[in-house]
Structure 1
Amino acid sequence: MRFEITLESAVRPSFRVQQAAGMFDVPLGEKLRERFVVDIPPQSEDWRIGLIVGPSGSGKSTLARRLFGERLAAEADWPRDRAVIEVFDGMPLKQAAGLLTAVGFASPPAWLRPYHVLSNGERARCDLARLFAEALDPRRGAEPAARSEGAAQAGRSRTAAGPAEQTASASTMDAPKPGDSAATEGEPWHALLPPQADRRLPLVVCDEFTSVVDRQAARAIAAGTARRIREGRLPCRFVAVTCHYDVTDWLAPDWVLDMAAKHFARRCLPRPPIRVEIVPCRREAWRAYRRHHYLSGSLPVAARCYLAVWEGEAAGFCATAPMPGRAGVRRISRLVVLPEYQGMGIGGAFLDAVADWTARGGRRVTITAAHPAVISHCRRSPKWATTAVRKLGSRPGGLPGYAGSWGRAVVSFRYLA
């Protein structure tokens, strides 16, 4: 299918405009109009993740609107007086927490804050979670969802990718041929689907994907989103629209539409490996992590502490402590991954590595967790066995320095050395 798009800028021909054009010998009429053509070949393989990438002004947002509709311009409404978790009141709390965790926003203390006080990276993850929540809502059916990720915090229109894209645009599309996958459907984006594809699968489109976050957070968001989609925990098709080429390897899309080259290509490359070094550390390192943990900010007196270091930067903290009343047993007391690294799978690998290290020293290892990400990891992993499920936790039992888990639903696991 061929898309022919013309971008036009309506500018009043004032004296100053004419003067500036004459000063630099700029043909005003030609510079206010740009036309480009994009060919999307018929697809024979189904896909889950797509990427439209290109520099500002290349027409990517215009093409995305042509493919996916005007809903690309929608913005999320985040009340200033409500916690983030409360905005997801249309779904059960456990499901909302799981969705936030799935996009790498796994810090319960941050869930209880309003959207406007969060960092750019946390806001970007919240916006992404809202997109998935709307698309996967069974009351909406398979209606596609689309939104620009950073519009609310950036305070700009969804079409602000470049000067040409802020202007009025006109586009034409070649009529689909009888053999095209879009020949029997009315939506242009169906040209991206093979004939046998399940078109009931929800579609999520995120414009300006990772555009307002630092590039480390961008890698984590891209990798985490792709991981959950591939695992089936986010059952949908996802299309990212961005000007940042650095997320390509981490998102690992099935296809890439490069607007700089006006080229569409299938792609099937694995995500770059993540190699994390585990190093012992002093307990003072906990100060940088305690605000992100949902329990007390204090550490047990006999805690042994470790850092997860990736590319020279400390990304996570873990501590083990003796299990009260049980000789030869150590429990995972604290496990925190910094927000900018959440969603990449570092936490689960870190937990397993510390547990294995401790077990090799002749100790049995346990963990009692309330966090959905930790519970999900341990339940899926063959390295952990469930030992107890308590809806109200356990009482402290009068042991000094041990608060227990009373009042919290928790699951206990034992590491299988």
Structure 2
Amino acid sequence: MKTALAILSAVTILSGVGWASDTNEPPVILRQPQSLSVREGEYAWFEVVARGAEPIGYTWTKNGTNTLVNKTPLIQFRLPTTNDAGLYQVVVTNEFGAATSAVARLDVRPFTARELRVSGFKTNAAGEVILPIDLKAQGDENRVSGSIRFSTNVLKNARLATGPALANATLTLDTAMSDDGLLGISVSMPSGSSVPAGVTRLAELAFDVASGASVLEAAVAWTNLPVAIVAQSSSASNLLVEPVVVPALVVPTDPPALDPQSGLFLHTLKLLNHGGDINGVSIVITGLTDDSLGKPIVIKTALTDTNGAQRVEYGPILAGVSVDLQIEYYVADRRTVPSPHFEVEVRQPSWPVQYDTFVVLDRCLYTNNVFMVEWETGVNVLYYVQYTSQVANTNAGWRTSLPPVIGNGRRVQWIDRGPPRTESPPTGQERYYRVFWR
């Protein structure tokens, strides 16, 4: 049985980002703020964890001179712009001394909804690896180009499989540097015309898999050689375009299976990030029908959009990492087997922006690599579960699980089997939990 927050709160400040001390100790920084790179409009934050005698003060500065209004250990940028970019630092003080943090850089890239994508990958019956190249267009693009860098120890014989999918479009494939793992592609429309708004398949590239290699080891990235990443309008004006490599989602051929213990249908998906580090993904799940009782099938690990679509979020994901995601479906009749359709998007996860009030956990049990956490809830109150690998190791930090639990006025059970609810499956009892509500 794990130690619950009721005991941990003796040493953990309820802000969730600091540690108290009963001695005359000057501030000591335990975790430094980390540099971030985001697009305009993506939520960003800097956080410092410090220990020392209370009260502790926090003074943040930007670019070494501008003192910020924020006086807490957490500084947030809910809708950052390029004006927020800069170097940030915090001085932590109490009556016994001061400690200055390392400098953290915030890079803010101009926002554009226009994306040049490698949309995962797939294999065909011939054993070829197919890379779909898509453009998420705004409707004003006459020409778009870019280059793919690929791992030559895995992928060989780069060529065009299909394309262009656009009527009247001209596609050029530059293979002059393909032996070095570089492949250029450009698509242009006739003068005066544009790519229609929305996601358009520009082409599909084909590769052979090198002898003895596994397609799971393949890595790709966008680059500017031999062809620069460019989008242009009909007047040859340059347009902002974001190059994106979307992780591949491997869906098992077997349908979701009913787990008699939880009463949920379980489905294990594999997410392969063959591109660079990303902040997170959103997996949009559609195609779910009502069961035989006329009740909708609900994904327990999903957020629901305003349009009713259900999506599972997970991140961050490092380059070359594969993750098993367990999707949980609640089906009221326990007979109707879900038949979902999945679409993966790269996005910034919607982490909660602040901590409010922590709750006391009634029970926290571990068995068979699964943790179960219980607590009493209020009606329609949002509860966020946070977890860490070792509470004594402040560098581990607390991570927030999504989606939040919506209280129903009764005791709830929250089960941790691993992704997407948490970053990895529990492998032992060294995982700690706490819950706060907003």
Q: TM-score range by the shorter chain?
A: under 0.3
Query: Which one has the bigger helix percentage?
Result: 1
Q: Which has the higher strand share?
A: 2
> TM-score, normalised on structure 2?
0.22
Q: Which has the higher contact order (CA 8 A, sep 6+)?
A: 1
TM-score of the two chains, using structure 1 as the length reference: 0.22
